[in-house]
């Protein structure tokens, strides 16, 4: 890095002034950025992709909710909201956000927006499969498998319990974990031997 | 040195083939000279693979950029620790790492348990060597870390910035250790099948290996979460990414095994099931490696697509068929010695616990593979992301949490209504009180309420077990409570260590609950401007942007944005988030800029700040501020879980005590008396 660093005279002047004067005085040197100017970065090219100002849409819970259901198509596997607020090198998720905002401004509902994205990118743009047709298998197979095996297990256990009535009767008539005096004495004796 | 590495790899190929063939033949024919030869080959195999690994380490440290692997994953200005971690940071190196660690584990198993399990060891050694053989084949023919370039670049590409994190130095090797060590229990299980010695001997042989493997996997997964949280900048720690899922799958089946194996030990039941679980754990570890490296499933973690996927695909098919055939051929020998007698018994709860653990494993596998299934059947690819996994797995996870508490409260064989009432009264009351309290405080989210109430219930059961155990010792032996506690745990390490592990799991669930209350806001701030965010605990946080500074560090150019944080008007401190542009020794930028989140943790919530970039190259910074409740409990839960695991593993008097117990007929007497002892 050191070998490549080249400061212009303008940089040197800026750094010197920054060292001597309060930051507020430097604001005059920055390019106009709306109502208030701010200091310029030394190497903006190394500070990541330039960002625009945050708009209200970016924090709108409704938009964030829809973005959470849409997958960024850059290949990152993240939803649009997570991608645009995490992977700051991605240009796809901000574009998808702008597209979504545009649709909302045109009066489209959440459902319509999702449909529009599906029409444009295919079903893979949704973070979870739609609950219809073959996709239902995705949602119901695991639960159905657990319930089926669980029911079978219960049935087997019930049959086993019923087929051992003498044991069941014995079990019901006593308190199994309360050892008898004799058993307790034996347990104590064994514990004593262990120590 | 790379010539030495190549030579060592070729020797490893021959030795692993020899150890496999001679081990099987020697074991089958009970020929001592062949068994001895296979043993020596196992030790030599570990030796030559250590030499190969050292050759790669030397190439990395000496910056031998003529070696393609070194040029691809390191650069001259990469700190030494990351230069060393590049050993397993790339495809070829990680395969060599797998081979060397497995060969060392194989040698250790031989050395430590070879005499005690001399009838099993030839087969166990042969199975281990066969797995090493596969990894050496892949390393030699598909992903060779010693491959040279036709030219020598002045500098290397460097390591991916996201891997330049302390978490990434230890997370992958620990996860690998977990994955790799699963092979040893699998090898002993196969050895038991081959040798037809299907008593509990093989279970004793693998008990500690399985816990060690499970523990490594647990630590690896938790560290992976920590790395994702601190390094990736999205404010979460688990995204149900296919690769995360791949590490979770064997963890689930091993957890199921660690529970069901107790039933086999105590009642001689579930022999087939246990065999299937241990085989499944091994197969899932290979399957995880297959999907990580083949590129068949898109994942942020994936290594670049390479021809090794085909090797893993065929190997996976081979081991599935071979394992199923061996288990099938021995099914008649795996009949249970006794049967379940009651639906209300610890055995039954363990069965349901197994059902849920394997059910979660199935649902995770199903969700991970569903995009492929959908494409095969419908020709349409779908995305199966976190919303799906959360929807399907949260209810199952909560049921599992409930069973974590229920299991230890129910007696073996059969529990009576009176016993149940006595055991459940206090923990259930505690859980209900918490649920009512949360509702009274205005919480209306069903799952978090259930999770916290169940967590309280489980903690109640654990506390009750400790209190009763200590109380019993205090009464019977007149020991002080502290001494009684120490002896209680010391003499029942597996049982009470297990409870501590359960406590760790409860803490994980508590932390997961916090994710339901995560809040965040994006803001672009000029120096002096503020943003506010309200936490779920009712606090208002104020973030004041202080400014952006830029400076050079060892191998990067850093842009740091600083924020002063106040909670309810009271200053908390200054936090910093960075944008790092890594450069090579020639000052050329390598990779895209990476983000370092600013994190401040306390018991209630984490303040998580991400500097997204600057507006038009000025000090006006774009931030994402996140309040992440209860995250600290996840890391603490990890520590508790590891502590519990260490307690269960701690060597000591258990072996001699067990022996004396067996001599005294103690275990048999207790079994007959339907004690609730675990």
What tens digit of pLDDT does each residue of B357-396 get?
A: 999 999 999 999 999 899 999 888 899 999 999 999 999 9
What H or E segment, with its residue span, contains residue B56? Answer: helix B32-61
Contact check, Cβ <8 Å, A190/B661:
yes
Smallest Cα distance from A106 to chain B, Å = 24
Nearest-angstrom CA–CA distance, B436 and B450: 11
Q: Looking at the complex, does the CB of residue B1 fall below 8 Å from at least one CB of chain A?
A: no
B558 alpha-carbon distance from chain centroid? 33
Q: Which two tokens stand for residue B585?
A: 């020794």
Question: Confidence band (pLDDT; 50, 70, 90) for A15?
Answer: very low
Share of chain B above pLDDT 70, in %: 94
Note whether residue B677 is domain-resident.
no
CA quadruple B356, B358, B361, B366: dihedral sign: negative
Count of domains in chain A?
3
Q: Which of B475, B484, B511 is nearest to B641 (CA)?
A: B511
Domain boundary among B160, B184, B201: B160
Which CATH number is A83's domain given? 1.10.8
Domain boundary among A128, A145, A177: A128
What H or E segment, with its residue span, contains residue B256? Answer: helix B242-267
Do B644 and B620 belong together in one domain?
no
Size of interface A-B (CB pairs under 8 A): 282
Segment A94-99 mean pLDDT: 94
Instruction: Examine the pLDDT at A88 and tell me if it is beyond 90.
Output: no
Do A61 and A31 belong together in one domain?
no
Predicted pLDDT at B307: 77
Predicted pLDDT at B653: 52
Select from A77, A179, A180 the Cβ nearest to the Cβ of B298: A77
Q: Looking at the complex, does the CB of residue B483 fall below 8 Å from at least one CB of chain A?
A: no
Do A65 and A96 belong together in one domain?
yes
Do A72 and A118 belong together in one domain?
yes
pLDDT tens digits, B84-104: 999 998 889 999 999 999 999
Q: Which domain holds residue B503?
A: 386-516+635-672
Do B136 and B23 belong together in one domain?
yes
Contact check, Cβ <8 Å, B385/A39:
no
Q: Looking at the complex, does the CB of residue B666 fall below 8 Å from at least one CB of chain A?
A: yes
Note whether residue A51 is domain-resident.
no
Do A94 and A118 belong together in one domain?
yes
Nearest-angstrom CA–CA distance, B191 and B206: 11
Predicted pLDDT at B422: 87
- Phi/psi at A154 (5° precision): -60, -40
The Cβ of residue B478 has, within 10 Å, a number of other Cβ atoms equal to 9
Contact check, Cβ <8 Å, A50/B615:
yes
Question: Confidence band (pLDDT; 50, 70, 90) for B165?
Answer: confident
Select from A71, A134, A177 the Cβ nearest to the Cβ of B374: A134
Instruction: Examine the pLDDT at B302 and tell me if it is beyond 70.
Output: no
Segment B528-536 mean pLDDT: 94
Predicted pLDDT at B590: 83
Predicted pLDDT at A179: 56
**Longest CA pairwise span in chain A (Å):** 99
Do B578 and B667 belong together in one domain?
no
Mean pLDDT of all residues in chain B? 89
Question: Confidence band (pLDDT; 50, 70, 90) for B594?
Answer: confident
Do B544 and B503 belong together in one domain?
no
Instruction: Examine the pLDDT at B672 and tell me if it is beyond 50.
Output: no
Do B551 and B457 belong together in one domain?
no
Instruction: Examine the pLDDT at A36 and tell me if it is beyond 70.
Output: no
Note whether residue B576 is domain-resident.
yes
Of residues B255 and B172, more confidence is placed in: B255
Segment B513-524 mean pLDDT: 94
Tell which of A146, A169, A187, A189 to mutate to test the B interface (max B CBs under 10 Å): A146
Strand, helix or coil for residue B216: helix
Q: Which two tokens stand for residue B460?
A: 């109640």
Residue of A nearest to B553 (CA): A1
Predicted pLDDT at B114: 82
Instruction: Examine the pLDDT at A129 and tell me if it is beyond 80.
Output: yes
Residue B263 · residue B347 · CB < 8 Å: yes
Q: Which two tokens stand for residue B582?
A: 């890594």
Segment A108-123 mean pLDDT: 95
Contacts of B620 in chain A (CB under 8 A): 33, 38, 53
Do A113 and A154 belong together in one domain?
no
Q: Looking at the complex, does the CB of residue B475 fall below 8 Å from at least one CB of chain A?
A: no
For A54-58, A139-143, A171-175, which range has the lowest pLDDT when averaged over its residues?
Answer: A171-175
Contact residues for B568 (Cβ-Cβ < 8 A; gap 6+)? B539, B540
Q: Which two tokens stand for residue B295?
A: 């590129």
Contact residues for B265 (Cβ-Cβ < 8 A; gap 6+)? B200, B203
Instruction: Examine the pLDDT at B565 and tell me if it is beyond 50.
Output: yes
Q: Which two tokens stand for residue B548?
A: 């952006």
Alpha helices in B441-530 (DSSP H): 446-477, 481-491, 493-514
Question: Confidence band (pLDDT; 50, 70, 90) for A22?
Answer: very low
Count of domains in chain B?
3
ipTM of the complex: 0.81
Predicted pLDDT at B43: 97
Residue A1 · residue A46 · CB < 8 Å: no
SS3 content of chain B, % helix, strand, coil (to 5): 65, 10, 25
Note whether residue A109 is domain-resident.
yes
Do B140 and B14 belong together in one domain?
yes
For B292-301, B499-508, B554-563, B669-678, which range has the lowest pLDDT when averaged over its residues?
Answer: B669-678
Q: Which domain holds residue A80?
A: 56-128
Do A82 and A113 belong together in one domain?
yes
Do A117 and A72 belong together in one domain?
yes
Question: Confidence band (pLDDT; 50, 70, 90) for B675?
Answer: very low
Question: Confidence band (pLDDT; 50, 70, 90) for B305?
Answer: low
């Amino acid at each position: 890095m050191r070998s490549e660093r080249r400061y212009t005279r303008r940089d040197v002047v800026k750094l010197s002034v920054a060292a001597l004067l309060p930051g507020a005085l430097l604001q005059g040197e920055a390019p106009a950025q709306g109502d208030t100017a701010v200091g310029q970065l030394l190497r903006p090219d190394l500070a990541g992709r330039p960002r625009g100002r945050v708009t209200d849409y970016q924090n709108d819970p409704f938009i964030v909710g829809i973005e959470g259901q849409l997958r960024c198509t850059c290949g990152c596997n993240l939803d649009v909201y997570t991608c645009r607020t995490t992977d700051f090198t991605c240009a796809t998720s901000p574009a998808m956000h702008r597209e979504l905002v545009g649709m909302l401004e045109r009066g489209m509902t959440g459902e319509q927006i999702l449909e529009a994205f599906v029409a444009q990118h295919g079903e893979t743009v949704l973070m979870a499969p739609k609950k219809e047709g073959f996709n239902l298998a995705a949602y119901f197979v695991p639960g159905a498998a657990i319930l089926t095996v669980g029911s079978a297990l219960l049935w087997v256990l019930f049959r086993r319990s019923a087929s051992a009535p003498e044991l069941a009767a014995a079990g019901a008539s006593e308190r199994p974990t309360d050892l008898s005096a004799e058993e307790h004495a034996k347990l104590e004796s064994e514990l004593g031997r262990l120590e | 040195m790379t010539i030495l590495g190549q030579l060592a790899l070729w020797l490893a190929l021959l030795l692993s083939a020899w150890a496999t063939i001679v081990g099987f033949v020697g074991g089958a024919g009970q020929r001592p000279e062949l068994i001895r030869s296979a043993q020596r080959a196992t030790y030599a195999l570990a030796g030559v693979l250590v030499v190969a690994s050292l050759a790669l380490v030397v190439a990395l440290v000496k910056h031998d950029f003529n070696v393609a692997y070194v040029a691809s994953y390191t650069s001259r200005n990469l700190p030494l620790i990351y230069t060393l971690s590049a050993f397993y940071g790339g495809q070829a190196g990680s395969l060599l790492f797998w081979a060397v660690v497995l060969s060392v584990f194989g040698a250790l198993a031989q050395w430590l348990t070879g005499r005690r399990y001399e009838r099993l060891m030839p087969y166990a050694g042969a199975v281990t060597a066969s797995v090493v053989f596969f990894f050496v084949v892949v390393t030699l023919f598909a992903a060779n870390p010693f491959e040279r370039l036709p030219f020598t670049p002045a500098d290397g590409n460097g390591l991916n910035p996201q891997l330049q994190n302390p978490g990434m130095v230890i997370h992958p090797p620990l996860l690998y250790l977990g994955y790799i060590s699963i092979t040893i229990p699998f090898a002993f299980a196969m050895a038991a099948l081959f040798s037809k010695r299907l008593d509990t001997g093989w279970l004793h042989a693998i008990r500690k290996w399985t816990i060690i493997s499970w523990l490594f996997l647990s630590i690896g997964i938790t560290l992976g979460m920590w790395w994702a949280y601190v390094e990736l900048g999205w404010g979460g720690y688990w995204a149900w990414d296919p690769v995360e899922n791949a590490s979770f799958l064997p963890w689930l089946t091993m957890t199921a095994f660690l529970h069901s194996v107790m039933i086999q030990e105590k009642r001689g039941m579930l022999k087939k099931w246990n065999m299937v679980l241990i085989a499944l754990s091994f197969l899932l570890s290979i399957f995880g490696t297959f999907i990580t490296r083949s590129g068949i499933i898109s994942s942020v973690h994936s290594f670049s697509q390479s021809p090794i996927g085909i090797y893993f695909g065929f190997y996976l098919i081979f081991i599935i068929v071979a394992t199923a055939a061996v288990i099938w051929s021995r099914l008649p020998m795996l009949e249970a010695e006794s049967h379940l007698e009651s639906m209300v018994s610890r055995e039954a709860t363990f069965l349901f616990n197994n059902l849920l653990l394997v059910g979660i494993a199935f649902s995770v596998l199903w969700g991970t593979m569903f995009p492929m299934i959908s494409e095969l059947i419908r020709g349409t690819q779908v995305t199966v992301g976190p919303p799906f996994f959360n929807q399907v797995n949260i209810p199952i996870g909560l049921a599992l949490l409930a069973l974590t508490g229920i299991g230890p409260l129910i007696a073996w064989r059969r529990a009576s209504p009176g016993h149940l009432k006595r055991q459940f009264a206090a923990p259930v009351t505690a859980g209900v009180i918490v649920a009512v309290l949360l509702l009274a405080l205005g919480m209306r989210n069903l799952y978090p309420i259930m999770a916290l109430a169940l967590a309280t219930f489980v903690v109640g059961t654990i506390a009750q077990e400790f209190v009763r155990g200590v109380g019993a010792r205090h009464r019977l032996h007149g020991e002080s409570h502290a001494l009684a506690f120490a002896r209680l745990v010391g003499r029942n390490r597996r049982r009470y260590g297990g409870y501590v592990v359960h406590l760790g799991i409860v803490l994980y669930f508590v932390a997961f609950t916090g994710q339901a209350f995560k809040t965040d806001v994006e803001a672009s701030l000029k120096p002096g401007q503020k943003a506010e965010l309200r936490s779920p605990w009712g606090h208002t946080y104020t973030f004041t942007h202080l400014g952006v500074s830029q400076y050079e560090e060892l191998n990067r150019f850093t842009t740091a944005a600083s924020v002063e944080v106040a909670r309810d008007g009271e200053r908390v401190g200054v936090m910093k988030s960075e944008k790092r542009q890594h450069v090579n020794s020639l000052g050329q930028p390598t990779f895209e800029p990476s983000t370092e989140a600013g994190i401040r943790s306390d018991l209630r919530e984490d303040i998580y700040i991400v500097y997204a970039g600057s507006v038009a190259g000025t000090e006006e910074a774009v931030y994402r501020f996140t309040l992440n409740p209860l995250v600290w409990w996840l890391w603490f839960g990890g520590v508790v879980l590891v502590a519990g695991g260490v307690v269960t593993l701690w060597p000591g008097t258990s072996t001699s005590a067990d022996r004396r117990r067996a001599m005294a007929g103690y275990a048999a007497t207790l079994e007959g008396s339907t004690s609730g002892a675990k």
